[in-house]
Protein backbone atom coordinates (compact mmCIF):
# COMPACT_ATOMS: atom_id res chain seq x y z
CA UNK A 1 0.00 0.00 0.00
CA UNK A 2 1.46 3.36 -0.95
CA UNK A 3 2.30 6.03 1.59
CA UNK A 4 -0.32 8.33 0.02
CA UNK A 5 -3.11 5.83 0.56
CA UNK A 6 -1.85 5.32 4.11
CA UNK A 7 -2.34 9.05 4.69
CA UNK A 8 -5.95 8.63 3.58
CA UNK A 9 -6.70 5.85 6.08
CA UNK A 10 -7.42 8.20 9.02
CA UNK A 11 -9.82 10.13 6.79
CA UNK A 12 -11.54 6.91 5.74
CA UNK A 13 -11.87 5.81 9.38
CA UNK A 14 -13.31 9.21 10.32
CA UNK A 15 -15.76 9.13 7.43
CA UNK A 16 -16.82 5.58 8.33
CA UNK A 17 -17.40 6.66 11.92
CA UNK A 18 -19.45 9.64 10.82
CA UNK A 19 -21.40 7.41 8.49
CA UNK A 20 -22.16 4.90 11.26
CA UNK A 21 -23.16 7.66 13.68
CA UNK A 22 -25.36 9.37 11.11
CA UNK A 23 -27.06 6.07 10.34
CA UNK A 24 -28.04 5.73 13.98
CA UNK A 25 -29.56 9.22 14.28
CA UNK A 26 -30.73 10.01 10.74
CA UNK A 27 -34.05 9.04 9.23
CA UNK A 28 -33.71 5.98 6.89
CA UNK A 29 -34.05 7.99 3.65
CA UNK A 30 -31.09 10.20 4.66
CA UNK A 31 -28.84 7.23 5.39
CA UNK A 32 -28.65 6.27 1.71
CA UNK A 33 -27.85 9.86 0.70
CA UNK A 34 -25.16 10.23 3.37
CA UNK A 35 -23.58 6.91 2.44
CA UNK A 36 -23.58 7.82 -1.28
CA UNK A 37 -21.98 11.22 -0.55
CA UNK A 38 -19.29 9.62 1.62
CA UNK A 39 -18.54 7.07 -1.12
CA UNK A 40 -18.12 9.86 -3.67
CA UNK A 41 -15.81 11.81 -1.33
CA UNK A 42 -13.68 8.75 -0.58
CA UNK A 43 -13.40 7.74 -4.26
CA UNK A 44 -12.36 11.30 -5.18
CA UNK A 45 -9.73 11.41 -2.40
CA UNK A 46 -8.35 8.03 -3.49
CA UNK A 47 -8.20 9.17 -7.14
CA UNK A 48 -6.33 12.34 -6.14
CA UNK A 49 -3.82 10.34 -4.09
CA UNK A 50 -3.19 7.96 -7.00
CA UNK A 51 -2.71 10.91 -9.37
CA UNK A 52 -0.21 12.51 -6.98
CA UNK A 53 1.65 9.23 -6.58
CA UNK A 54 1.88 8.76 -10.36
CA UNK A 55 3.20 12.31 -10.75
CA UNK A 56 5.80 11.86 -8.03
CA UNK A 57 6.88 8.50 -9.46
CA UNK A 58 7.36 10.22 -12.84
CA UNK A 59 9.63 12.79 -11.17
CA UNK A 60 12.22 10.10 -10.49
CA UNK A 61 12.34 8.49 -13.94
CA UNK A 62 15.59 8.40 -15.93
CA UNK A 63 14.95 8.38 -19.70
CA UNK A 64 17.78 7.66 -22.10
CA UNK A 65 18.74 10.67 -24.21
CA UNK A 66 16.05 12.82 -22.63
CA UNK A 67 15.81 13.46 -18.90
CA UNK A 68 16.34 12.61 -15.26
CA UNK A 69 13.15 13.43 -13.39
CA UNK A 70 12.01 16.92 -14.31
CA UNK A 71 15.40 17.94 -15.71
CA UNK A 72 15.58 17.69 -19.50
CA UNK A 73 18.65 17.71 -21.72
CA UNK A 74 18.85 20.83 -23.89
CA UNK A 75 17.40 23.06 -21.16
CA UNK A 76 19.09 26.44 -20.65
CA UNK A 77 21.40 26.68 -17.66
CA UNK A 78 19.40 29.61 -16.21
CA UNK A 79 16.20 27.55 -16.21
CA UNK A 80 17.82 24.55 -14.49
CA UNK A 81 19.56 26.91 -12.08
CA UNK A 82 16.23 28.52 -11.12
CA UNK A 83 14.37 25.19 -10.70
CA UNK A 84 17.11 23.39 -8.76
CA UNK A 85 18.52 26.42 -6.89
CA UNK A 86 22.02 25.66 -8.12
CA UNK A 87 24.73 27.64 -6.38
CA UNK A 88 28.06 26.01 -7.11
CA UNK A 89 29.62 25.88 -10.57
CA UNK A 90 32.94 24.45 -11.71
CA UNK A 91 34.32 24.50 -15.24
CA UNK A 92 36.58 21.55 -16.00
CA UNK A 93 37.23 18.64 -18.32
CA UNK A 94 36.21 15.18 -17.15
CA UNK A 95 38.55 12.51 -18.52
CA UNK A 96 35.90 9.81 -17.93
CA UNK A 97 33.85 11.22 -20.82
CA UNK A 98 35.78 9.03 -23.25
CA UNK A 99 34.34 5.97 -21.50
CA UNK A 100 30.70 6.82 -20.98
CA UNK A 101 29.91 8.62 -24.22
CA UNK A 102 29.94 6.65 -27.48
CA UNK A 103 31.58 9.57 -29.30
CA UNK A 104 34.58 9.71 -26.98
CA UNK A 105 36.12 12.69 -25.26
CA UNK A 106 34.04 15.85 -24.80
CA UNK A 107 35.43 19.35 -24.21
CA UNK A 108 35.16 21.27 -20.94
CA UNK A 109 31.81 21.49 -19.21
CA UNK A 110 30.34 23.62 -16.45
CA UNK A 111 29.38 21.18 -13.69
CA UNK A 112 26.93 21.93 -10.91
CA UNK A 113 25.62 19.54 -8.25
CA UNK A 114 21.97 19.61 -7.20
CA UNK A 115 21.85 20.97 -3.63
CA UNK A 116 19.61 18.23 -2.18
CA UNK A 117 19.78 15.26 -4.58
CA UNK A 118 22.73 13.18 -5.76
CA UNK A 119 22.59 14.64 -9.27
CA UNK A 120 25.22 16.65 -11.15
CA UNK A 121 24.40 18.73 -14.21
CA UNK A 122 26.91 19.27 -17.04
CA UNK A 123 26.36 22.38 -19.18
CA UNK A 124 28.16 23.25 -22.39
CA UNK A 125 30.60 26.11 -22.00
CA UNK A 126 29.56 27.87 -25.23
CA UNK A 127 25.73 27.88 -25.36
CA UNK A 128 25.11 27.10 -21.65
CA UNK A 129 22.60 24.27 -22.18
CA UNK A 130 22.27 21.03 -20.25
CA UNK A 131 24.24 18.34 -22.07
CA UNK A 132 24.59 15.52 -19.54
CA UNK A 133 23.00 14.55 -16.24
CA UNK A 134 24.86 12.36 -13.73
CA UNK A 135 22.53 10.57 -11.32
CA UNK A 136 23.67 8.76 -8.15
CA UNK A 137 20.41 9.25 -6.27
CA UNK A 138 18.79 5.93 -5.26
CA UNK A 139 15.26 7.28 -5.73
CA UNK A 140 15.75 7.47 -9.51
CA UNK A 141 15.01 4.53 -11.81
CA UNK A 142 14.57 3.73 -15.48
CA UNK A 143 11.19 2.85 -16.97
CA UNK A 144 12.22 -0.80 -16.76
CA UNK A 145 12.85 -0.43 -13.01
CA UNK A 146 16.67 -0.32 -12.97
CA UNK A 147 17.89 1.57 -9.89
CA UNK A 148 21.21 2.47 -8.32
CA UNK A 149 22.52 -0.70 -6.69
CA UNK A 150 21.43 -3.05 -9.51
CA UNK A 151 23.79 -5.83 -10.54
CA UNK A 152 25.61 -5.65 -13.88
CA UNK A 153 24.20 -9.00 -15.02
CA UNK A 154 20.60 -7.87 -14.47
CA UNK A 155 21.14 -4.62 -16.39
CA UNK A 156 22.72 -6.51 -19.30
CA UNK A 157 19.62 -8.73 -19.48
CA UNK A 158 17.30 -5.71 -19.66
CA UNK A 159 19.25 -3.27 -21.82
CA UNK A 160 21.36 -3.83 -24.92
CA UNK A 161 24.67 -1.98 -24.85
CA UNK A 162 28.43 -1.96 -25.20
CA UNK A 163 30.77 -2.70 -22.32
CA UNK A 164 33.86 -0.62 -21.56
CA UNK A 165 36.19 -1.10 -18.61
CA UNK A 166 38.51 1.55 -17.20
CA UNK A 167 39.70 2.83 -13.83
CA UNK A 168 38.13 -0.10 -11.96
CA UNK A 169 34.72 0.81 -13.37
CA UNK A 170 32.52 -0.86 -15.94
CA UNK A 171 30.60 1.36 -18.32
CA UNK A 172 27.52 -0.17 -19.99
CA UNK A 173 26.95 2.30 -22.83
CA UNK A 174 23.53 2.40 -24.50
CA UNK A 175 21.78 4.95 -26.72
CA UNK A 176 21.46 8.07 -24.59
CA UNK A 177 22.23 6.40 -21.24
CA UNK A 178 25.34 4.92 -19.70
CA UNK A 179 25.26 2.75 -16.60
CA UNK A 180 28.43 3.12 -14.49
CA UNK A 181 29.28 0.14 -12.27
CA UNK A 182 31.67 0.16 -9.35
CA UNK A 183 32.49 -3.23 -7.79
CA UNK A 184 29.81 -4.87 -9.95
CA UNK A 185 27.00 -2.64 -8.69
CA UNK A 186 25.30 0.24 -10.52
CA UNK A 187 26.66 3.44 -9.00
CA UNK A 188 25.61 6.07 -11.53
CA UNK A 189 23.41 6.84 -14.54
CA UNK A 190 24.75 9.24 -17.17
CA UNK A 191 22.00 10.67 -19.37
CA UNK A 192 23.27 12.21 -22.63
CA UNK A 193 22.04 13.20 -26.07
CA UNK A 194 23.06 11.08 -28.98
CA UNK A 195 25.55 12.83 -31.26
CA UNK A 196 24.04 13.87 -34.55
CA UNK A 197 25.47 11.78 -37.39
pLDDT at 160: 94
pLDDT tens track for 71-128: 999 999 999 988 888 878 888 877 788 888 877 666 788 999 998 899 999 999 888 9
pLDDT at 45: 60
Closest CA to 77 of 131, 116, 119: 131
Where in the chain are the domains?
Answer: 3-58, 61-192
- pLDDT grade, residue 1 (50/70/90)? very low
pLDDT at 2: 46
For residue 56, is pLDDT > 50? Answer: no
Q: What does the angle CA 197 – CA 121 – CA 190 come to, to the nearest 5 degrees?
A: 55
Q: Which value, in Å, is the radius of gyration of the alpha carbons in the chain? A: 24
What's the fold here for domain 61-192? protein yfey like fold (2.60.460)
Amino acid sequence: MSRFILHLLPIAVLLSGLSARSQCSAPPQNVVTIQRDLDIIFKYALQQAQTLEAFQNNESIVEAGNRAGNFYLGTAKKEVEANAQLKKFETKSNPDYEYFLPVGYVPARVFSPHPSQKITFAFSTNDQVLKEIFVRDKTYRTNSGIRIGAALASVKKLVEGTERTAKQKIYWVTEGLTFVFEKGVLAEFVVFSEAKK
